[in-house]
Chain A
């Protein structure tokens, strides 16, 4: 079994030079066959295999090493460590259009792209019209690329890629540019390309695209693989990470710390079946509230997404429920969310203890949980629906 693309322990160091003397020093080191003295580790320890017909999404924050990885795969740079093995023709589409020469006209760039793939001008003769039609940029095709808008550059780049059909298609954030209708055209083309056995390496900030187009995803963080696995799972983990990060920048969310500042306090909080729950199954939130004065407290349960967005909240008094005392001053409560409508992702359950009149908030406790599932629906919850 030989994979179309094998990456083993790939890593890349960039030389760090900030002074003129540093540059001279670097040249001297390189000429002697030495590695650069001071380096920046852009990528490290990346492993994956891509079979023919497979699709991999690379995700991560800016500067995580995504582009470096794609450049290594495309052969633009050599890995400092590890190996990259390719069986076939890689049509690099890195940052589409940057492979173009700005002074060339659109037509000349079509020829350049063909030459880069080893095709003689006459070999793409028949494809030129197809490219021009797909790009759909009118008479701009006869003007130098430097006068193009970024959208037009991507259009042309994508059109060339579609006509020349590389064995492995590498796209770096191409779908982010271009208008809606062109994006749809591109996605439709990529889907067809994948159905016909094409292999895709997609780098994107859009989890929607990654989940839609890729089977497997690789999450890079600070140059190192953070997670590798089924695209849906990795994309959700990545989104959850970000939601949490954003929320923690706004207000630090401490997990499950029972503050006993007030009179009414939450003494325990449990999630059943656990903190990982499959979408559409029942989630039970239960615990005990302390009431020092023998009156039944009101319990408010809220569901909050990891970024702090409220999803739903309900209190015992709203539903006319009065908690019963169990032992001592503890009042147990239990709330079951039937057939959980939440979409996959990370959430918090936030439980508040209120006085019997539900006027003052005395305590709150949080617990995180993850909803699992494979769906491409958007938003927070599944709304009951029916297609007519």
Chain B
């Protein structure tokens, strides 16, 4: 049981590896449960808010794009399913990244006084957001099916792995952003507008085909373009076939995760003094 404190994850090094793993799982469960509880149970509207916000957005977009602008050509689908299938994952990212970025500050007391792997805070924050948004996503798919939109539920066989790939990449980004935020408080302020801009550069409210041809490769290069495209393939078209691009995306997500964790672990030993 002898280990030295040179390990990077704090007191995990003080126990046998098995015990450390068990402890970290217990901690992660604890943090995750707390994230879920404090986010929605504390507010008056409770869990409903997780669903109400995206639904309200969807309603506004519906009004703007079908009643005011009267855009069309949603690749043969209604506006609602076309946008809804793509909107939720983006909202998940849009909520997960800023929350995770500032998550360490909420655990400052613990970080300053207790030895534990700080990564767990970021994991719990991202996991809680994605879990709640995914629950909202499923609810909306059911509602769409109930009002007669043709949703291919078998497509979830591919949609769920797609969400997982997105989550892995979000975890990596979140780790890096959260670690940087501890030292440089501007991260949070730069992130919000960036995500807002990214949303309009992603073919969520419009199909890629409406983009002028010479700009299409640029828009398609956005990883979210790939994600929403694949989600529409499986849930709207019922196409489950895998593509080469999927392997690239998995590889890229793992790379982002590894890179983010590397940044985090480099900076984590100094958190105690700065958080």
Contacts from A to B (Cβ < 8 Å): 2, 14-15, 20, 23-24, 26-27, 30-31, 33, 36, 71-72, 74-79, 83-90, 92, 94-95, 98-104, 108, 111-112, 114-120
Q: Could you list some 26 contacts between A and B, CB below 8 A?
A: A15-B270, A20-B184, A27-B183, A27-B184, A31-B267, A71-B272, A75-B11, A77-B272, A77-B273, A83-B5, A85-B5, A86-B5, A86-B14, A87-B1, A88-B1, A88-B14, A89-B15, A90-B14, A92-B114, A101-B110, A102-B109, A115-B27, A116-B23, A116-B27, A118-B19, A118-B26
Q: Which residue of A lies closest to B12 (CB)?
A: A75
A residues less than 8 Å from B53 (CB atoms):
none
B13–A99 touching, CB < 8 Å: no
B183–A26 touching, CB < 8 Å: yes
B194 within 8 A of A: no
A95 to B30, CA, bound (A): 22
A90 to B107, CA, bound (A): 20
B residues less than 8 Å from A100 (CB atoms):
109
Q: Which residue of B lies closest to A112 (CB)?
A: B30
B116 within 8 A of A: yes
A95 to B272, CA, bound (A): 14
A residues less than 8 Å from B207 (CB atoms):
none
B189 within 8 A of A: no
Given contacts A87-B2, A98-B109, A115-B27, 19 further A-B contacts (CB under 8 A): A14-B273, A15-B270, A31-B263, A31-B267, A33-B266, A71-B113, A71-B272, A75-B10, A75-B11, A83-B5, A86-B5, A89-B14, A89-B15, A95-B113, A102-B109, A114-B26, A115-B26, A116-B114, A117-B23
1/0 per residue, CB under 8 A from A, across B140-175: the answer is: 000000000000000000000000000000000000
B11–A120 touching, CB < 8 Å: no
Q: Most B CB atoms within 10 A — which of A20, A84, A111, A116?
A: A116
Q: Which residue of A lies closest to B109 (CB)?
A: A98
A residues less than 8 Å from B266 (CB atoms):
30-31, 33
B4–A84 touching, CB < 8 Å: yes
**Interchain CB contact (< 8 A) of B109 among A33, A92, A99:** A99
A residues less than 8 Å from B15 (CB atoms):
89, 118
Q: Most A CB atoms within 10 A — which of B6, B13, B112, B263?
A: B112
Known A-B contacts A31-B266, A33-B266, A118-B15; the reply to A76 vs B109 at CB < 8 A is no
B38–A103 touching, CB < 8 Å: yes
Contacts from B to A (Cβ < 8 Å): 1-6, 8, 10-11, 13-15, 19-20, 22-23, 26-27, 29-30, 34, 38, 107, 109-110, 112-116, 180, 183-184, 263, 266-267, 269-270, 272-273
Q: Which residue of A lies closest to B111 (CB)?
A: A76
Q: Which residue of B lies closest to A79 (CB)?
A: B5
Q: Most A CB atoms within 10 A — which of B19, B26, B27, B38?
A: B26
Please provide the 4 A-B residue pairs with the shortest distance between their CB atoms, ordered closest to farther. A118-B23, A75-B115, A75-B11, A115-B30
B residues less than 8 Å from A103 (CB atoms):
38
Known A-B contacts A83-B4, A100-B109; the reply to A76 vs B14 at CB < 8 A is no
Q: Which residue of B lies closest to A77 (CB)?
A: B272
A143 to chain B, nearest CB (A): 14
B residues less than 8 Å from A114 (CB atoms):
26
B residues less than 8 Å from A78 (CB atoms):
5-6, 8, 269
**Interchain CB contact (< 8 A) of B4 among A76, A85, A88, A95:** A85
Known A-B contacts A30-B270, A88-B1, A98-B113; the reply to A76 vs B10 at CB < 8 A is yes
B106 to chain A, nearest CB (A): 8
Q: Which residue of B lies closest to A73 (CB)?
A: B5
B14 to chain A, nearest CB (A): 5
Q: Most B CB atoms within 10 A — which of A36, A114, A115?
A: A115
Q: Which residue of A lies closest to B184 (CB)?
A: A23
B residues less than 8 Å from A92 (CB atoms):
11, 113-115
A99–B110 touching, CB < 8 Å: yes
Q: Which residue of B lies closest to A27 (CB)?
A: B183
B residues less than 8 Å from A86 (CB atoms):
3, 5, 14
A residues less than 8 Å from B22 (CB atoms):
118
A residues less than 8 Å from B8 (CB atoms):
78
B residues less than 8 Å from A36 (CB atoms):
270
A26 to B270, CA, bound (A): 10
A residues less than 8 Å from B109 (CB atoms):
98-102
Q: Which residue of A lies closest to B114 (CB)?
A: A99
A120–B113 touching, CB < 8 Å: no
Known A-B contacts A26-B183, A27-B183; the reply to A75 vs B14 at CB < 8 A is yes
A residues less than 8 Å from B11 (CB atoms):
74-76, 90, 92
B residues less than 8 Å from A112 (CB atoms):
30
Q: Which residue of A lies closest to B273 (CB)?
A: A14
A48 to chain B, nearest CB (A): 15
A101–B184 touching, CB < 8 Å: no
A76 to B1, CA, bound (A): 19
B26 to chain A, nearest CB (A): 4
A114 to B10, CA, bound (A): 17
B5–A75 touching, CB < 8 Å: yes
B residues less than 8 Å from A99 (CB atoms):
109-110, 113-114
A154 to chain B, nearest CB (A): 13
